[in-house]
Structure 1
């Protein structure tokens, strides 16, 4: 049994695959009505439409029901549905090829339309007459209509329907006026008598018949010659139309018809005509609204659109949404046709099987159902495409597969956007039904078991392909390097080029090329791969990872230029490095070691090139790719040898040729687009934009593939091949870092204890008074004994050569291999050694006391100036001598232990220094004695306190023993003066100031003169301290003499005053 014998109706019969609003041939109309399939979905739409349409004219809601919006994707049958509605509403009588007449409604009997209620509503609808005006709005519009395009089209088709001029509205308006006056026929007769030609035939050439028109108007309307002439000259320029006037003309027309008569405007493809032009859409809304109110429900508008009206509103700017949403109120009835409707129509109209065929196909499915389930499998790069769900599905779809209905529909939608000629595909396009018929006819002579491959649908779209696309495919036929199968492959890749349901991978192409139920996929896959290689070699397709993409001639030219774009090895290295280290490995240039929470710098290299510039680190990790010049020579033994010589880990990536070819293609494409992207060249810009999108996809795929490549890379470190356990890229990187770190820093384990807050510990150590409490001894629990011994030994060895050692040198040494210790922990060790007097700090050649060291050590710039020196032990005799000297200097014996004695002495001398500094300030301000003593004593103390260590300190003490003893005497005098004698000195100064006024008189008294001289001598003495005890007695003596002298003077004055008083009294009396 062959394919064509399976169907109830001939497969090769003439089917009008293209539904056109203006196609009214009787035979075509009859076939449309006879074969029209009312699916379950369409039955619901019929019900909804006629329930609304049969609303009584006296119903208050009728004015708001006159708008109907029918939407559906390309090929869903909305235009066909609209046309069938026009046949029913007009209830035309159709004549078949035998001359029999049958009205449209009679086609919709119980066999076609099962719901009796719907049939009743249809009968009710056609009881009253109606003018049905069906038209495609795009074909009726003039290019110059612009903003009034919608209104002008409605006026044109309304005028044409009444027999008036469609192209010249002012002429139609004259005809309307003549009709209202019942003189239109007289006018046509008068015109024909005057001109000798028919009015209807020649009215579009009215300019050439001015005299004849004016003559006919004067005869039929009784106008004067002047009035008729004026009308002709001015009517075209003065004529205007508004939505309201148009609706009134419709209402006036309805008044001439029976009471229940209606006018219906059935407008096809209004959605794509309006597009996003809100003015046109609002005009349509206004027409619908005014027709409803002015004509009181007797004038209807039914439109079709590619898009859902809600979606159109949703795309509007928010400023226009409120106005635009009024449209929804004018189209109360909204019908949406889905893909299931198309599937059902094709199955019932084209693929309906005979009973014998159904039985035969069911048997085939019983035998080969499992094979069919496995044959049609697609990869997971797109949405799931349907397969046969069971025997019923197989019978209803055969020789097609269910996925064809999904995929072909999407192909039609996308190709009409990018590969069709003309502004729209309203004319010349092939419907889904036509496409499936052509594909089925192509294998109709084959035996049952044959299947339709996707390339069989290509002839259905070939006729409206863009020239560039068609030329590419046609030229492939003449290419001697290609095979016949290659052309089929090229057609298939073109059809799925812009479809997001499926990608052109080898797996998917195998499924799309299956032509029999028992197809062997293995040789088919081989044939397909060979074909893809030939097409790619000819630049007819391009590979993007696993996907193959069709190229037009223009795209091919650009692809060739992209492939010819030069890229350097440094560009390859840079991009690969960026992808691996920054994208895949998240730019990890440090590794945090969990045991000490320290970040260790990682020197990263890509094929021998540093990733972070010239950056020296102990830990280095290199990734070697096939881009490396020595890649092929880097076998296991050489990789082991390469990593043994230095602290390095190495990842050797496998040679995935396709991946690295994709990376080169990405670089070439990216470079070409950046250099040649010129927005003014629209075709080139479009192609480059597409290449850019493909390149983004390519880059994402490369990243994922590099992750897999990194996970499977060979890993070597420190002369060993590693078997890493982690299966996550970042965890695997961390595992390699940990191995490298722990084996590079072989003495890292000397650090037995890591402090959570080392700087806090440093501060506590430096300021501690109780050394035992802080476990500062070398065998303490937190002392890191082995690490401290290493640091101490290093400092000791350096000190033997009198080589100055800076703190930063110590930290640099022990942060590097083989130690790798945290910097803060090293500083803490130095502080612990200093606190136990094993070392000491020096800053600017001055001993830096532990209690003053914290802020200096914490500041990196200041720390670079700090030296650390091993403390020299003082011999016992020198220590004993120094201790004995403390008794003489401080009146108490210092501690016997060197460190404690040193601290004791330093503390005492610092007290001296601080007090002398205070006394110096007082002397400078208050004229106290001791300036010379202070000036000589302070430098001596400063010199002693600057000793670098206890050894030097005690040696200086013994060397300067006599000076220190003299200093002690001087300090004691000064200290006693300022603590006990300062008030006596101030009494002396006060007395001298007081006696200065009577000094001449006092000097006449021998005792007073002597006492005053002694006071002056004490005040002027360099060291008056032992004489200050005389001051109170001398002051008392002087005060007594001074008071006696004052009393004598007072008595003498009083006597003289008495004599004066007596004289005055005598004179008065």
Structure 2
């Protein structure tokens, strides 16, 4: 099915997109197809009330954006009020068939009454009628009015003096006769000849002289010379014309596009007001001026309200009746004139709606910070709009308005004027009429509807792209980007551009996104657009854009408004926040003046309404507005002095500042200084006046006027603001009369300790409200931070203070209802107080409701704690129990780690390594793990406790450790003796010391037994070895002392020899090493003893007798034996012959065999040994046995 089949009327039928004031063709079609929207009906109703009940205001201002239907409405009014038949039917009859007039009622009756008043309508486009008149001329505007009035009267409007000539002839009843004479003389109709006045001057003179009986020359030149344009004369002429008509007759001027004509020109605007005012004065409501403008009146006035407050007030008063058309009006017109569907296709369209309704938000809602535009509201809305999408009406309007602002269109008023919204949408509808059901109009198609009105320079990039780019989709996307270039509230991201280019319900979104991305990449590469982050922007000549933006910057009423704002808020109220006495809490507020926000927007607002506001006197409106807006509204009394002095103050300030820098003349400087001082005083007076006006203002809150006593403006504003607080924040009462301070947070956490309020205790209302919010977010998967919590409860309907929110949160945290995490770290009480008060981390503090645990889970964990650590858990709340358990595990890990560090000395302690690792792992476990998962490991940990931890700890702290140490000490210290001891004790001890489970069972007892036995054996063996060694020494001593030679020694030498024996025996008694005992005895026998014997022999040898030739030999000493003389005294001893002695062990026997095996071998060995002994004796040596 093609889209064109859906429509009730052919979409390609002729529809005049732009209604022209001077176009009389197809008037019936214009009347028949005109749509009375709901908004237009309201505006018409208001107009008719004013028209029927004249109250002195005869001016009507019809405003609206491009293509909103202003001109069409103006033309319909002109045709209706005049009500001349068109094709045998009157405009009234056509209109009475339209909704809502066909329903009857007051609206229809008022229209009938208005039409019944006899009237003429003079409808014209002021720009067209002023084709040869310069706007710079002072009387340009009145000249146009005179021209169209003259033409209406049948006179020559192009030359006012000729029209005046005709008017006077008519007044003298000579005009018809003059026309006849002129035709007779010139052969030409007067209506044609008057356009050739100079060439026909003689004929004019002759005809005039004949009908007037005068004889004048150059009559028209005289009229030209004498003619003077006057608003007052014009009003009198109109009044005369009205008097000539039937009773009650009215003459209405319908002026199209007057707003553009007079825009920014103070003189022209003032003249327009004067025209309307003069007509009102002269004609008493029988002459009306109805005008249209693309902007509302305040925008058109421009600098007027800065130059003259009096003129501004007059203009407002004269054009008090205002009719503003909106985009909703246009949308409704387009829907009813162009998009109305045939009844037979409603079901299939309804099916399409139901198939797609759940995806409308996904497909057509803008994101990424763009302004929200309308989407399909319901089935009816879909039927009315399809194949267009609701956002297109509003977005296209914004696009056109902004393009116009930036001078994108041809024409002297930089506005479209050649197209209407209806015309553009019809062109798009025609372009897609052959598309299938389910396809959509894309936003780029709107470009073709305005292409011809655009300046070539502004669409140059598109023209180049159409010639050079093969990617047609990219060209279409470029057109869409052009349309939204200056729409600041639209963010041209990929997502939003996909919405603009979505051409069918069956379109695959990922493929559309890919196509958009590819097109954007191409356009960016070819420099048709620029990318700015995620935004894409159409490129034009930047210098022209900047230049135009600068030239269009207005310094208008904003300057005055800003100063008045300062006077009220800084001068009277004085504070940026208002403290409410009932809770001592400070509340920030938005500053508004005449509905316009100044500065930061807050939840509460104060809106001061001044004389500049359109509805200053609409008290019911102020009541209804404050019923839905959370603002305190003050309506200031009228004060011409305030406005006048304020404008003068700003003018003086600006002028003095500029000229003081520029001038070099001393006298000028002095004057400027005086003006500056006067201005300071003027400002002080302004402050006093403003305060007085605020004190006399009318206050509105919550749909009611607030009655306040006193005259002090500041006090009344504060008290009225208190009423606004109570209305906006009904949940403030939850806090009751409790005073909260930030310093209380630490005390709350400290005093609450680790216990809950009690299982059955109810949370206080504010805490329960807060806890419910956190729980709700948690269930919905929404993360709650301290920052978001503050935002929630600082705003309506709560309005709680920063301290109140944090204190209640602290209660929830301290009582275990809520836990706070920073990143993934759960904050404990020690850090919680400090962190809650640190604003910089609030966005990182995550709030979670504490997990609920069953009583059995809590009891199981407590029982585990009691049994495992063999002490009672102090906590009763899950989180606190888990914390206590975690701390105990940590302590145990530290203690076991200290033991584990001794594993080099006690190898069996390595069994603790894995346990310590697992215990340390508990430090990072969330408390919920202990409540839910620890029970699963209960058997494991009790096994650790029973089989390892407790036995090891008991071992290391008890007597068993001493046994282990003693055993280790014994085998260390007695290592040298062990090899001389028989038995298996040493091997058993070694095995026990490296036994990984020595701390278990009876191993340690056996170790003790083995150690004691080994010690006893060693001690016994040592004693045996000592005894043997000493006995061997004693034998040697006996041998030595029994030598006869020893007995011959003096006592000193005897003691010297025997002391060596005593010394070595003492040493042997002290030696506990068996090897050393044996070695010491051997060395003494082989070395020390030999030396002692040698010494004995040495001392025993006789001294040689001295040879004296003079004396005979001395006689032997008495007592000597064997005839040999021996010298005993060491003093008398002289040199002796040295006799050597050797130990029998040292004598080497020359025997070839390694052992003795036969008797013969023995005899041979003894013989050889005998030879060796004899040889030693022969060598003069003694043999020591």
| TM-score, length-scaled by structure 2 | 0.45
Greater RCO, CA 8 A, separation 6+: 1
Q: Which structure: larger Rg?
A: 2
